Every structure is written in structure tokens, then in C-alpha cells.
């Protein structure tokens, strides 16, 4: 008994063999010392049952809370997770040329959206999500940040919904779909890809779309929930009409977040289609001819308008750029390559290029001189090849103003046809016994014909140009700021600070050809409804008329016709219609001069006015005229 008591008080663990020996000893009465297992106390049994009962009670109470007290709220939350609202982005309005040939279309596609609220709710990390996306799409970190993916430090101020990528490929969608449960805040949405036909030649007319920037939202807060916005060209100018109205759908998702079915709530409405004034065939031939003649090495432009309305039939700025790339996901590296191009393809030369006009301004000077009765068109002035102007303060110092060659006796018709500078020095600033217009009247008529101000074409970026005068020279600080007769001479031949755009020169030529009506150039002919019927027809806008009498303009038209029959534009003489024209060779700093020609046809009742300008290419008669000839030949050959 002492041994048993000692064993009961011992803390030594009981081995299995000892239990076996105890059982044997008890059955057989063996005298071997028995070690008997200690029985459980009543306290331990009670404690075990209390703990078990408490656990079951907790589970019962928790089930009561979840199913009864909070059951309705939790059910609603589960439904929220099961049913998700997705935005539906509308296709933008299509664009057609004047013959209803599509220029821009929409192709169904998929995009990737970052939803800020759901991301924050998941308490995830931007870097983790970005890394997973990069691994799936095989893109580096910079790619996502360039395309609008928020950085950690910018998350608080980021938009609620950010369209990261558009135009996902099918393999990318297949790879992303099963991984969405590991990408909190990321959703694949239906979208439309904007596809531009002939993207280079139409780039400066149509423009492109892009992701909405903070600057866009500042200008228009209504863009907050939009996917993209027009950035340039018609896409930018008519963005509101083209954008359409978004819709919504309810999506049912399974426990993994995979969408199984949906219900349409609001149907998206496509943007309104536009019919342009552009003739796509004429636009293409003009672009291709410029590229061919310049071998892709010169900046150039061509503008063709209808003199009877101001409708633009072609507007080329060479080189163009790939608007399909700009409207998808152009990377920073590719964008920098475009910016570094020495020919500046993003620059719309046709409406924003401010160049010296050279001799293409001479028909305007002649019109003003006839209107002011400065000279009779038949009066002849002797052109020695230069004029000399003495300095009244230093008679021994004379200024010489040169012509490009000696022309002899010329009247107004001859002077325009052969581009005699001396004649226009004389009627512009006056010389010897022949009075001139003077800079005030030159500027007056230049502005009446649309120079020195924007014409208001319906795409952004137009520049006003400039006609210099004593005030502009004084403000510029050039020389001593004093306006001299030599400044007037230079302006009279389109030099000396004169800046015009090819669009302005075309509108000016059209106004001379049509009898004195200056129209506002425009690119959109009509807005259609969603059934394709005309909803709004654009009407010509007359800026000004009767700037010069019709009789004076007839004389100038006659002189421009002589430019083709016997002057500097003789290469236009064998076309199937009669043409009036004026060439120009404009000095512009170092290098070759700019080559200009402006023309209209048929001369008797013009259908089109055209201006072609090639930068730093030489004489207009040898560079710009051949391009113009082929454009006019194509137009009147293919005209219905």
C-alpha cells in the first residue's frame, strides 16, 4: 500500500508495459509490484463537458445572429457580390466622305478597366496587381503607368473608373478571365475599337481619340465617367456628337467572380454619324502625289475647296501619322519617335503653318490697286530687274530691291503672268511718278480677303497668320522699329514678315475666282441620325463679300489665266479644263525657298480652288505646279 500510494503521488509518466504488468498481476495474484493507471477525477470530466457545451452554445448563437439578426443584410451583400453592374461604352459615330464611303468605323473589342472602390475594398496593393497583370499580358511596369494605371501614391486622387487598356487581343482575354479573382478592381469590359481607313492621309482631318486626362475633365466635368475623348481633328471638334451615350448591364457572377449571364439595364446609344465634305479619292491622290514628288523628304500641304460654298474637298498635311496607333495604346517610346521626326508629322501645316506667301499674294495686291484706282491694268511699267531707292539722309547710300530677272515693259496681266516683282513694288509702295497703295491699304485689303485672322474651319489648331505694319514692326523691336518704304515693297511681294496659311491662300484664291465672296471653310457636310437620315445639314457661311468690285476681279482672273497660257504655270495649260493660277517662290531663311502655287478651275465657272505648298523645295513653277497639274487632271478625269 505504501508503494501504491507513492506511485499515485508520483509525477512519473505511466508506460504501456507497466499497465500490462498491472493487469497480469491483478488476475494472477502475482507478487510482482503492480502499477495501476490513475483514473480521471470528477472535476476534469465536469470541465470537459462545460467547455464542449459552451462551444456548441457559441455556434448556436452565431448561427442565430448570421441567419436571423443579420440574415437580411448578409443576403443583400451576397447578392451584391453575385450581381455586378457593368458599364457599356457606346460606339462612336462613324464618318463618311461626301460620297458616303466610310472613313472611320467601329469594330467590337474588349478593354481593361480599373475600378477604384472595389480595389480599395479588397485591401490589395497596387504593385501586386500591376505585377500580376504584367506577367499575364507580358508587359513591363512602365507600360501600365503610361496607359493610366494609378501609382500607389496617386490612388487617393485617382478617378473612380480608369480605362487602362483598349483593344485586348483574344489570347489576352483568355489569359485574364480565370485570373480576375486575383486581380481586385480589374474588370474586362466590352468596347469598340476605332478603325481609320487610310490613317496617314486623313490624320490631320479626322484626328484621333485618347484616354481622358485630368485636363479634359477640368474643361468638361461630364467626361468623368467616359472611356475616351476626341483629341484632335473632327474627333475633337465634334466629340460631343460622336461620343454617344453609355449604357449599363447587370452581370451574374459565380463564387470565383466569373460572369455567367447578364441583364441589360440601359442600352448604349451610338454616336451620331457624320458626312464630311471631303472627297476621299481626291484626298488620297493629293497625299500620294506629294509623297511621290518629294520622295518623303519635304514637309508639304495641299488644300482644295469649293469656291461656291467653302466646302473642303481635300486637306493634306504631309507627312501624316498613324491615327490607328494613336487611338489604341501607343507607348511612350513610339510617341517619342514621332516627336523626334524632323518633318514634324503632328504639325497640321495646312491650317497652322504660317509661311511667307511669296508671289501668290500678287493677285490680292492687283485687286486692291484696281479697286483703289491706283493704276490702269493696261498701263506698262518698265522692269529693269531692280529698283533703287535713295536714302534721304545719306544720298550716297541706296537700297536696291531686286526682281528675279529683267522683264522689260509689263502691264498688270504680264506682271502677274511672269511674276514681275518691280511692277508690284511700284503699285504697292509707289515709285517715281507712279503712286502706290501704301501699307495701310495693303493690310486693309489683305484682312478683307481673310489674311491675318482665323477663318474658323471646324477642326482645332488653325492659326491666324500676320500682315505686318508699322505697329507690328515697332512691337517686334526689329531694326530701330521704324517702318520704311522698303518694308512696304517687301510686303507687296509676300515677304518682309508676311505669314499666311495654305488654307487662307486657298480661300483668298476662291474669293477672287467666284467674284468676291469669302466663305468660311468647313469639313462636315451633315449630321445623320442613327437610322442614317440627315438630321442637320450644314449651310455655307459667307464671311464677307464685295471686298472688291467684280470688274476688278475679272481683270485679275484674266491675268491669272494668262499665267497658265503664257506665264510661270504653263504646265497647267494642257488640262481638260481652263485653269487660272499664280505661282510663288517664298524666301524663308536658310536653304531653298518654299514652292507655292494657287489655282482654280474651270476658269470661267470654278468648281475647285487649290493651293499646293512644298517647304524648302525651290521654285513654285518647277515643284508645286507639277503636283497641282496631276491633282487637277485626276479630279476632272474622275468627276461624275
Predicted local distance difference test score (pLDDT) of residue 396: 73
Cα–Cα separations (whole angstroms), residue 15 to 12, 19, 27, 44? 9, 7, 19, 22
Q: How far is Cα 202 from Cα 270, in angstroms, rounded to an integer? A: 22
Q: Cβ distance 210 to 327 under 8 Å? A: yes
- Write out the three cell numbers for 233: 481633328
Residues 272 and 295 in one domain: no
> Which H or E element spans position 383?
strand 381-383
Residues 271 and 293 in one domain: no
Q: What CATH number is attached to the domain comprising 383? A: 3.40.710.10
Q: Cβ distance 104 to 274 under 8 Å? A: no
Report residue 265: phi and psi, to 5°.
Answer: -95, -55
Predicted local distance difference test score (pLDDT) of residue 397: 79
Number of DSSP helices (H) and strands (E) in the chain, helices first: 25, 23
Residue 216 inside a domain? The answer is no
Residue 241 inside a domain? The answer is no
- Write out the three cell numbers for 506: 486657298
Predicted local distance difference test score (pLDDT) of residue 32: 45
Residues 343 and 427 in one domain: yes
**Mean pLDDT per 10-residue section of the chain, whose length is 640 residues:** 45 52 50 51 71 76 61 51 68 94 91 84 84 86 78 79 80 85 84 90 94 80 78 95 81 57 72 96 97 96 98 98 84 82 96 98 98 97 94 77 96 98 98 96 98 97 97 87 94 97 98 98 95 93 97 98 97 96 93 96 96 96 96 89
Residues 265 and 361 in one domain: no
Contacts of 366 (CB under 8 A, 6+ apart): 377, 412, 415, 416, 424, 427, 555, 556, 559
- Write out the three cell numbers for 528: 445623320
Q: Which domain holds residue 269?
A: 83-202+246-276
Residues 342 and 364 in one domain: yes
Residues 259 and 296 in one domain: no
E strand spans, 15-134: 83-88, 95-96, 102-115
Residue 458 inside a domain? The answer is yes
* DSSP-derived 3-state class of residue 505: helix
Residue 208 inside a domain? The answer is no
Rounded to two decimals, what is the model's pTM?
A: 0.83
Residue 221 inside a domain? The answer is no
Number of domains in the chain: 2
Residue 52 inside a domain? The answer is no
Predicted local distance difference test score (pLDDT) of residue 550: 96
Predicted local distance difference test score (pLDDT) of residue 499: 98
- Beta-bridge mates of residue 87: 248
Amino acid at each position: 500500500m505504501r508503494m501504491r500510494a507513492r506511485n499515485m503521488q508520483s509525477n512519473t509518466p505511466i508506460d504501456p508495459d507497466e499497465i500490462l504488468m498491472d493487469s497480469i498481476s491483478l488476475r494472477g495474484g502475482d507478487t510482482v509490484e503492480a502499477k495501476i493507471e490513475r483514473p480521471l477525477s470528477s472535476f476534469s470530466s465536469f470541465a470537459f463537458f462545460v467547455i464542449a457545451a459552451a462551444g456548441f452554445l457559441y455556434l448556436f448563437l452565431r448561427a442565430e445572429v448570421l441567419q436571423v439578426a443579420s440574415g437580411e443584410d448578409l443576403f443583400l451583400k451576397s447578392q451584391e457580390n453575385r450581381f455586378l453592374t457593368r458599364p457599356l461604352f457606346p460606339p462612336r459615330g462613324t464618318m463618311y466622305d461626301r460620297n458616303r464611303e466610310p472613313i472611320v468605323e467601329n469594330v467590337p473589342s474588349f478593354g481593361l478597366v480599373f475600378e477604384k472602390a472595389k480595389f480599395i475594398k479588397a485591401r490589395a496593393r497596387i504593385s501586386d496587381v500591376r505585377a500580376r497583370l504584367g506577367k499575364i499580358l507580358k508587359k513591363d511596369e512602365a507600360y501600365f503607368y503610361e496607359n493610366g494605371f494609378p501609382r500607389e501614391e496617386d490612388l487617393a486622387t485617382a478617378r473612380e473608373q480608369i480605362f487602362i487598356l483598349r483593344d485586348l487581343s483574344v489570347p489576352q482575354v483568355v489569359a485574364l478571365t480565370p485570373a480576375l479573382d486575383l486581380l481586385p478592381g480589374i474588370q474586362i469590359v466590352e468596347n469598340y475599337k476605332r478603325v481609320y481607313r487610310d490613317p496617314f492621309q486623313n490624320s490631320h482631318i479626322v484626328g484621333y481619340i485618347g484616354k481622358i486626362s485630368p485636363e479634359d475633365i477640368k474643361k468638361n466635368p461630364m467626361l468623368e465617367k467616359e472611356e475616351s475623348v476626341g483629341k484632335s481633328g473632327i474627333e475633337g471638334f465634334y466629340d460631343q456628337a460622336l461620343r454617344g451615350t453609355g449604357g449599363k448591364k447587370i452581370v451574374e457572377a459565380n463564387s470565383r467572380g466569373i460572369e455567367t449571364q447578364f441583364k441589360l439595364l440601359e442600352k448604349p446609344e451610338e454616336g451620331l454619324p457624320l458626312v464630311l465634305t471631303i472627297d476621299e479619292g481626291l484626298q488620297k491622290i493629293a497625299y500620294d502625289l506629294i509623297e511621290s514628288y518629294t520622295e518623303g523628304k519635304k514637309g508639304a500641304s495641299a488644300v482644295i475647296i469649293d469656291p461656291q460654298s467653302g466646302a473642303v474637298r481635300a486637306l493634306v498635311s504631309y507627312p501624316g501619322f498613324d491615327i490607328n496607333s494613336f487611338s489604341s495604346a501607343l507607348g511612350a517610346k513610339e510617341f517619342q519617335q514621332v516627336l523626334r521626326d524632323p518633318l514634324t508629322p503632328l504639325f497640321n501645316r495646312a491650317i497652322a503653318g504660317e509661311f511667307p506667301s511669296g508671289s501668290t499674294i500678287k493677285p490680292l495686291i492687283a485687286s486692291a490697286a484696281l479697286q483703289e484706282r491706283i493704276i490702269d491694268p493696261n498701263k506698262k511699267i518698265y522692269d529693269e530687274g531692280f529698283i533703287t531707292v535713295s536714302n534721304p539722309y545719306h544720298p550716297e547710300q541706296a537700297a536696291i530691291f531686286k526682281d528675279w530677272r529683267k522683264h522689260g515693259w509689263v502691264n498688270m496681266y504680264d506682271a502677274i503672268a511672269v511674276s514681275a516683282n518691280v511692277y508690284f513694288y511700284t503699285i504697292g509702295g509707289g515709285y517715281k511718278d507712279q503712286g502706290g497703295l501704301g501699307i495701310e491699304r495693303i493690310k486693309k485689303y489683305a484682312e478683307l480677303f481673310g489674311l491675318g485672322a482665323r477663318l474658323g474651319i471646324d477642326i482645332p489648331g488653325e492659326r491666324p497668320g500676320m500682315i505686318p505694319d508699322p505697329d507690328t514692326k515697332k512691337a517686334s523691336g526689329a531694326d530701330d522699329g521704324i517702318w520704311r518704304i522698303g518694308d512696304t515693297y517687301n510686303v507687296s511681294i509676300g515677304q518682309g514678315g508676311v505669314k499666311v496659311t495654305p488654307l487662307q491662300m486657298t480661300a483668298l484664291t476662291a474669293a477672287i475666282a467666284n467674284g468676291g465672296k469669302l466663305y468660311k471653310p468647313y469639313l462636315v457636310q451633315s449630321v445623320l441620325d442613327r437610322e442614317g437620315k440627315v438630321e442637320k445639314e450644314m449651310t455655307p457661311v459667307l464671311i464677307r463679300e464685295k471686298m472688291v468690285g467684280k470688274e476688278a476681279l475679272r481683270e485679275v482672273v484674266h491675268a491669272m489665266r494668262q499665267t497658265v497660257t503664257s506665264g510661270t504655270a504653263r504646265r497647267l495649260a494642257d488640262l481638260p479644263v481652263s485653269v487660272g493660277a499664280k505661282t510663288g517662290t517664298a524666301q524663308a531663311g536658310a536653304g531653298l525657298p518654299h514652292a507655292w502655287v494657287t489655282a482654280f478651275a474651270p476658269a470661267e465657272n470654278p468648281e475647285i480652288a487649290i493651293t499646293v505648298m512644298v517647304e524648302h523645295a525651290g521654285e513654285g513653277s518647277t515643284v508645286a505646279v507639277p503636283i497641282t497639274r496631276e491633282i487637277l487632271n485626276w479630279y476632272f478625269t474622275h468627276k461624275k
